[in-house]
Structure 1
Amino acid sequence: MGPVLVRDADPADLPRIAAIYDEQVRTAISTFDLVPPPVDQWAAKVGSTRPGDHFLVAQDDGVLGFAYSSTYRPRPAYDRTREVSVYLDEAARGRGLSRLLYAELLARLRAEGVRTVLAVIALPNEASEALHRGCGFERVGVLPEVGWKFERWIDTALWALSLDPARRGTPPGRPG
């Protein structure tokens, strides 16, 4: 294994992105999808040109994981808010790759004028909560029993990160 490169995802990465995510759909509560999405849905995410939407992969000999930002809610007042997600191949966990992906993703969002970044974490998930805490996110709430997967109810925690805490309460400029 060589040095890990974080880069923009491209269409050639779609099979690995789908495989990593499909494993999470089948085995974990980190996603509330119950059926793996088709590859063309991933193609739309990877190909999004909307400001604030990014899709990154961590790669050495192949794609080890990915992180992306997307619209939090479709209404215009949320334009400076993004939701983020990160997924790693099981064999790549514990190497700091999630933090590496988030460092690049958050830097891009900050440069574009995104104000608030949100992450939704299915509970329990100590590793994901530790990652987000370590990246500066703060747990701001819990939504009890909002997901049903693997024959049980699952809570989610909402985590938030202000990319511009010094300007809290000030009017926004134009979004990126």
Structure 2
Amino acid sequence: MMAERTEVQVRPGIESDLDALTAIYNHYVRETPITFDTAVFTAEERRSWLLSHPEDGPHRLMVATDADSQAIHGYATSSTFRVKPAYATSVEITVYLAPDAAGRGIGTLLYEALFAALAGEDVHRAYAGVTQPNEASVRLHERFGFRYVGTYREVGRKFGRYWDVAWYEKEL
């Protein structure tokens, strides 16, 4: 018997999403090396992060929700790549999915919406850092035209070991 496929909608993130987005991110903090944060956050600690992604401009937050229940399945962001002014037309992008949402095409939907939103912005390049190994993330980024540009070796220490981060770029 096949599981019923739920319809997923993608929309800009809003402040009432904060608790769910924080829970998704904290899963990756606690369970994976995908983020190099090592301590979980409260929603209040993540509020400034959410507010730094308005509905317009180069720094966006797109959220995937279940069309019926409005449960949040994941999110994608474009954020400041580096703080110096000459980097203003570059963004770092990322996607995080709820643990039960992987492998359903939701990351693809999120990136489609994110890149569509960025199409009219003054953004020249997008960059993605992928902690290794993470074949699913590598495939997602390559599917969207990102090309591998190099690896920072043993750049982060988490869970008692060092991790490499492969970097990818995409012209926008």
Query: Same fold by TM (over 0.5)?
Result: yes
Q: Does 1:13 align with 2:22?
A: no
* Partner amino acid, structure 1, of 2:98: D
Gaps of 5+ in 1: 164-176
> Within 1, Cα distance between the matches of 2:148 and 2:6?
35
- After superposition, residues 102-121 of structure 1 pair within 5 angstroms as 102-121=111-130
Q: Does 1:39 align with 2:48?
A: no
Q: Note the residue ranges of structure 2 that are not aligned, 5 or more in a row.
A: none
Question: Pick from 96, 102, 105: which aligns with 2:105?
Answer: 96
Give the partner amino acid of 2:146.
F
Code of the aligned partner of 1:151: G
Q: Contact 1:46/1:54 (CA < 8 Å) preserved in 2? A: no
Give the corresponding residue for 1:71.
Answer: 80
For these two proteins, the number of residue pairs brought into alignment is 163
Length-normalised TM-score, structure 1: 0.88
Looking at structure 2, the residues matched to 46 and 149 of structure 1 have their Cα atoms a distance apart, in angstroms, of 25
TM-score, normalising length from structure 2?
0.90
Distance in 1 between the 2:140 and 2:22 partners? 23
Q: Determine which of 158, 162, 170 is the counterpart of 2:171.
A: 162
Partner amino acid for 2:64? A
**Deviation digits for residues 36-66 of structure 1 (CA, Å, limit 9, x no counterpart):** 1231243222222483111111000200101
SS in 1 for 2:119: helix
Contact 1:52 1:114 in 2 (8 A): yes
Q: Does 1:56 align with 2:65?
A: no
Counterpart-to-counterpart distance in 2, 1:83 and 1:109 = 12
Residue identity over aligned pairs, in percent, reads 39
Deviations 1:137-173 (A, max 9, x none): 011000000000111110001110001xxxxxxxxxx
Distance 2:128 2:45 in 1: 20
Change (3 A) 1:41 1:54: farther
Over the aligned positions, Cα root-mean-square deviation in angstroms equals 1.3
